[in-house]
Amino acid sequence: MASGQAAQGAAVLRTLWERHTAAALAVVGALCSCARSLQTRAVQTADAAACGELRSLAVAMRGEQGVMRHHVVGLLAHHVTLCFFAKVAEPVRRPTQLYGFHLLDLCGEDELQQLHALLGGGVGGARRDAFALMVKEWRAKHKYEGAT
C-alpha cells in the first residue's frame, strides 16, 4: 500500500470513528493496522503527511480511551520497536515522538506494566530500556504539561 493510500485510508477510518462511533468499534482492528502501517511508512520514508495523519488518529482514539486501551499495548510495542531501533529522520522525529506520547496518554498503569513485561524479552531487554526512557520523557515533557 502506497503512503498516500495508507494516509487516505486512515483519514476515512478517522472520519468514520469521529462520526459513527458505534460502527467504528467494529473496525478497531483495521484502525490499529492502518496506524501501524502509517507509522512504518512515516519512519522509513520520512513522510510528514503520514505523521500528521498519525497524530489525528491518536487524538481521535483519545475520545474512546476505554476501547483503545485494550489495543494500545500492540501499537506502543510497534512504536518502541520501530522508533528506537531504526534511524528516524529529523523531520519526523518529533511528530513520531508526540504520537507515542498520545498513545501513552491512553494507557493506564496496567497497560504500562504489561508493556514493561512484554518488551523485556528478545533483544536482551533493549526494548524495555527504550520503553522506560520513553515513559520517563513522557512524564517529564508531556503528561502534566500536555506539550504538543
Cell of 6: 495508507
The full set of domain ranges for the chain reads 3-143
One-letter amino acid for residue 70 of the chain: H
Cα radius of gyration rounded to whole Å, the chain: 15
Q: Considering only CA atoms, which of 26, 28, 97 is closest in space to residue 69? A: 28
CA pair distance 32, 72, nearest whole angstrom: 8
pLDDT in tens, the chain (148 residues): 455 666 676 677 667 667 766 666 667 777 788 888 888 888 888 888 888 888 888 887 877 777 777 788 888 988 888 887 777 888 888 888 888 898 998 888 888 888 888 887 665 678 888 888 899 999 888 766 655 4
